[in-house]
Structure 1
Amino acid sequence: MQNLEKFSAIYQRASERKGGQEILESLLDKPLSPEAIKQIGDDRFLAEFTQKVFQSGFVWRVVRNKWPDFERVFFEFNIQKILLMPDEMLEKKATDPAIIRNYNKVKTIRENALMIEAVSQEYGSFADFVASWPTNDIIGLWAYLKKNGARLGGNTGSYGLRAIGKDTFLLSNDVVGYFTQREIISGSAQSKRSLTAIQNSFNQLQQESGRSLQEISMILSKSVGDNFIE
């Protein structure tokens, strides 16, 4: 990657912008280990994906405030109970004022439950499937969710993975801006060419630093854009 900076340069700039290494490190979160991810129930994956689907294009705070009602209305996202819901019940639940009444998004709950169940049948659990996916091809997992899930394309799937603890970078405005400015990508960040270039860049930075994709992504985002000392 000819235009990609060394990790040390990115880290130094992020540290200076945030007021020093100690402050920068305090702002970083680490992903869960594969062993920890394997302990997560399939219901929690469905819950996280659903939350991100509803947050897409909507006010995140409103979704968070209503989330306890989402959990209640949809059986704590128990996969088997969700799959047993007939269309009529799903339609009725979509009219419940306790949740956000968007039938097209409500339908994704059952559709993504079907995906999770199918994967669990093959791999033992959806958690095992996610935990074993190599991070040097995290865009491959994004693509799987987009193809086999419902409304999990764009940033929705990756944000869901990050929320559950899977090591992944995020295509935030700052991260995309960095790769565009360095001419590592051009056009849409979601194109196959751009995604591959970004994945290769993160793989290189990971080899240099020994850090997780999540940490590198957060450091990179803090090294550019408008987020100076807060």
Structure 2
Amino acid sequence: MEHFDNIYNRACERKGGEQAISGLLGTSVSNQQIAEYDDSRILSAFTKKVFQSGFVWRVVENKWSEFERLFFNFEIEKVLMMPDELLEKRASDPAIIRNAKKVMTIRDNALMMHDVQVEHQTSFAKWLADWPSSEITQLWLYLKKHGSRLGGNTGPYALRALGKDTFLLTQDIEAYFRSQKLIEGGLTSLRNLKIIQNCFNTWQQESNYDLQSISQLIAYGVGDNYVGMQGPHE
């Protein structure tokens, strides 16, 4: 695998130098900040990404205040008390995106979060904050297994929206790992996830950048990403 310096220098060459790169990189938030979130904020983020998956993100964003109104601002306890009949009624409301299966995920994911609260005797936010980024793919797998429609890129994108430090397996990131012959076969096989996680952990140790920034730097050095071009990478 490449040393981080090669990844960084390539991104700088393509995007106009170190100053330009520094202005392009996003930042995650501290675990302390995440621990202070209200759990309703997390359920909201999960729900938004579920509805944005395969849909026009802007439309979901424009309707979000109605989602909040109809689902009690995503307060876990209130959502858990919603019977099937009420969820079905909400799913037919034109004020939101009318997708019954996705609406049902709201209560399902509230239940997942409640189970974590009970098992660990803490808020979901604190549990999430305590999860080490060095094992972020294991968190992805947890959300996929125990949550509803949080597999694929949906869970990771929700974590990124919350500020949890994570890389993303975008097309550019996949292209990089395949071009370097680091992975083969299915992108999200357990073997490949372990390889990818180990690579990111090594680059983090070499650079002190967070996973999000490393992910972006890799993407900026792939394909047609040159000065003035904003691709689909991050």
Q: CA deviation at 1:196?
A: 0.7
Aligned position for 1:171: 169
Query: In structure 2, how many angstroms separate the alpha carbons of the residues matched to 1:175 and 1:192?
Result: 17
Q: CA deviation at 1:77?
A: 0.6
Alignment of 1:17-96 (within 5 A): 17-96=14-93
Q: CA deviation at 1:122?
A: 2.5
Q: CA deviation at 1:227?
A: 2.1
Query: In structure 2, how many angstroms separate the alpha carbons of the residues matched to 1:76 and 1:217?
Result: 32
Query: In structure 2, how many angstroms separate the alpha carbons of the residues matched to 1:143 and 1:154?
Result: 9
1:185 aligned counterpart, secondary structure: coil
Query: In structure 1, how many angstroms separate the alpha carbons of the residues matched to 2:204 and 2:72?
Result: 40
* Selected match of 1:153 from 134, 151, 170: 151
Q: Name the % identity.
A: 56
Structure 2 residue ranges without an equivalent (≥5): 229-234
1:25 aligned counterpart, secondary structure: helix
| Aligned AA (1:143) | L
Aligned position for 1:6: 3
| Aligned AA (1:33) | S
| Aligned AA (1:80) | E
Query: In structure 2, how many angstroms separate the alpha carbons of the residues matched to 1:71 and 1:167?
Result: 26
Q: CA deviation at 1:30?
A: 1.2
Please report the RMSD computed on the Cα atoms of aligned residues, expressed in angstroms.
0.8
Query: In structure 1, how many angstroms separate the alpha carbons of the residues matched to 2:149 and 2:5?
Result: 37
Query: In structure 1, how many angstroms separate the alpha carbons of the residues matched to 2:223 and 2:103?
Result: 35
TM-score by length of 1: 0.97
1:196 aligned counterpart, secondary structure: helix
Aligned position for 1:212: 210
Q: CA deviation at 1:13?
A: 0.7
Aligned position for 2:194: 196
TM-score by length of 2: 0.95
Q: CA deviation at 1:106?
A: 0.4
* Selected match of 1:138 from 119, 136, 139: 136
Q: CA deviation at 1:59?
A: 1.2
Aligned position for 1:121: 118
Deviation beyond 6 Å, 4+ runs, structure 1: none
The reply to whether residue 112 of structure 1 matches residue 130 of structure 2 is no
Q: CA deviation at 1:226?
A: 2.2
